[in-house]
Amino acid sequence: MAETATQRKEDELLCETAGGVLRVTLNRPQVLNSLTRGMMKGLRDAVKAADRDASVRAVVITGAGRAFCAGADLGELKERYEAGEAPPLGEELRAYFNPMIRAIRELEKPVIAQINGIAAGAGASLALACDLKICAASAKFISAFIGVGLVPDSGFSQALVRAMGLGLALEHAWTAKPVTASRAEQFGLVNKIVPSEDLAKEVEELLGPLLRAPAKAVGLTKRLFRGALDRDFDAQLEYEAQLQEILGRTKDHLEGVNAFLESRKAEFKGN
């Protein structure tokens, strides 16, 4: 089912910036926040804008209603098939899904998934692309791809294999058996599970120390860790040394040293 007559396209993705945080809400609750092309482009653009805005220190992504995101809008896809407009799915991924996922992973600021309900298909990919995942106890992850004759995409295959190992990842992909929030926490797919009514509060508590931390060090830590599994040990040691050279010249580093020696809390300025 595509966009309803009562919802404007500009309302499908709600973005609000306040207190150093960009909050993005997937806002199609009537279809479990399934992703349209416009939503994916809008999310990518919002994240890229946050990258350029020094006042934005973190990003939170959540869904309206009872779901986080059900993945691609199959209704929209069917309409394009029937109209003879649908491109090969590989092109669709390269044009919309992959740029959205890359923008999140490459943003050198924390991105938190506030997972309020089901995350299925590309919706699960979106959640797992985020740096930190706070999950309602009622939420579930579903690899829905097999049900429509497809393979997992948007980075889901890599995230699942790295967290679960090959055998369990294949089982999940082939059977589409839901992964409960508690099971996801055991595998390290999410950072924490909380009752649904405490989800927003838990995210706010997590944001506190992130917003107070030195922004440059936060960003470069993300860069360092994101590539850690793709480098050998010696290369990782060298990359650590390179990043320390950069951070060692910042005012925030000096402030941190002085604060420690003076037994006071550091006041980082992001430079």
For 11-59, write each residue's pLDDT tens digit: 999 999 999 999 999 999 999 999 999 999 999 999 999 999 999 999 9
Q: Is residue 137 part of a domain?
A: yes
Q: Is the pLDDT of residue 73 over 90?
A: yes
Residues 134 and 86 in one domain: yes
Q: Is residue 203 part of a domain?
A: yes
Give CA–CA dist 37/266, Å, rounded: 43
Alpha helices per DSSP H over 213-265: 215-226, 233-247, 251-261
Residues 207 and 242 in one domain: no
Q: What is the pLDDT of residue 127?
A: 98
Q: Is residue 108 part of a domain?
A: yes
Q: What is the pLDDT of residue 6?
A: 45
Give CA–CA dist 82/53, Å, rounded: 41
Range(s) of the domain holding residue 220 = 214-261
Q: Is the pLDDT of residue 1 over 60?
A: no
Q: Are residues 145 and 151 in contact, defined by beta-carbon separation less than 8 angstroms? A: yes
For 205-230, write each residue's pLDDT tens digit: 999 999 999 999 999 999 999 999 99
Q: Is residue 254 part of a domain?
A: yes
Can you give the pTM of this predicted structure?
A: 0.93
Domain with residue 117: its CATH number is: 3.90.226.10
- Domains of the chain: total: 2
Residues 234 and 136 in one domain: no
Give CA–CA dist 172/159, Å, rounded: 12
Q: What is the pLDDT of residue 8?
A: 62
Instruction: Tell me the pLDDT of the chain averaged across its residues.
Output: 95
For 149-188, write each residue's pLDDT tens digit: 999 999 999 999 999 999 999 999 999 999 999 999 999 9
Residues 207 and 218 in one domain: no
Q: Is the pLDDT of residue 84 over 90?
A: no
Q: Is residue 196 part of a domain?
A: yes
Q: Is residue 139 part of a domain?
A: yes
